[in-house]
Amino acid sequence: MATTDTPSASDKITDWVDPNDKTGEFKRQVSSFRSFISRSDPSSPFPPEAGRYHLYVSYACPWATRALIVRKLKGLEDIISFSSVHWHMGEKGWRFPTAEEGKEGGDAAGEQVMPDAVGDKKYMKEVYFGVEPEYKGRFTVPVLFDKKEKRIVNNESSEIIRMLGSEFDGIVEDPKARELDLYPEDLRAQIDEVNEWVYHDINNGVYKSGFATTQEAYEKNVTKLFEGLDKVEKHLREVQEKGKGEYWFGERLTEVDVRLFPTIIRFDPVYVQHFKCNIRDIRSGYPAINKWMQNLYWNVPAFRETTNFLHIKKHYTCSHPQINPKGITPLGPVPDILPL
């Protein structure tokens, strides 16, 4: 799913739960732009071409981070450009940073944290309105943008990573990246099954817990979240005890690892305290998950190089005034991730 969230009755971007919804439940909106880049369909308006597409992301956003990870894993750095918005989300949504903010030492430092080089926009919402002036949804990332046609191809992260994972293979030069199959045919049924419950219980579960506005909604969702984490821990412990690899499917890196990692890497730095997901943390409460996460972060560059703890911690703590009205960012945990 993309990081799309149901607009509330107040139409405020920062109202994550409709103030009129007495259940206090966070409900995620379905993504709006669902076109596909295709190498097999000659009639597709979006063929895989080098230099044609741009990926708008936020380093803070776990859904956008998925797309960045796959872009690196699949050797698409010279084929699809990308840029990151500033970590702060205010009343106008994501904004593009100044050049100074994105530089080393800036308050939003990071690779390709820069003004909008595609359309010279100031806010992400302007990208949406530039394509669809009557757009009514949230102005979210990731966005896969067609620079040639000036159209949004897709803003659904699960579909973007599928496209990046296969549709550009014909023009990827690195044979290792080209041969990496994150959605292999023999594992597709299992991948789909795991993705489904991980999304509902964990990826979205942290948000349903953190944005809940009633005690009942919070307790229901945080309990389900930790039941999901317990299930992940059990599976990874069994894989690790067999000694046949460090990924969800042992020696085979797949979509499951890509989709789960962004949530887990954010868990101790922000979700434990900010979203009240504090029944256990990862580093001390889930040894198998922690080992799996450490391996991806420290041994697979695509995961480490797309993780920006500055953006992650500042975004959550300074963009949700209903949760943290003073915008104070905790210093811990120290370190953000433990060494191997």
Q: Enumerate the active-site residues.
A: 61
First to last CA, the chain: 31
> Kind of pairing, strands 151-154 and 143-146?
antiparallel
* Inter-residue contact 110 to 116 (CB < 8 Å): no
**Strands (DSSP E) along 75-208, which ranges?**
80-84, 89-90, 93-94, 143-146, 151-154
Name the β-bridge partners of 247. Answer: 250
Task: Give CA–CA dist 68/183, Å, rounded.
Answer: 17
Environment class of residue 38 by beta-carbon count within 10 Å: exposed (0-12), middle (13-18) or buried (19+)? middle
> Kind of pairing, strands 80-84 and 53-57?
parallel
Nearest to 58 by CA among 117, 138, 142: 142
* Inter-residue contact 145 to 54 (CB < 8 Å): yes
Quick one: angle between helices 157-166 and 255-266, nearest 10? 130
- CA angle (176 as vertex; 174, 179 as ends), nearest 5: 105
Q: How far is CA 10 from the centre of its chain?
A: 26
* Inter-residue contact 212 to 23 (CB < 8 Å): no
Q: What is the DSSP string of 189-213?
A: HHHHHHHHHHIIIIITHHHHHHT--
By three-state DSSP, how is residue 223 classified? Answer: helix
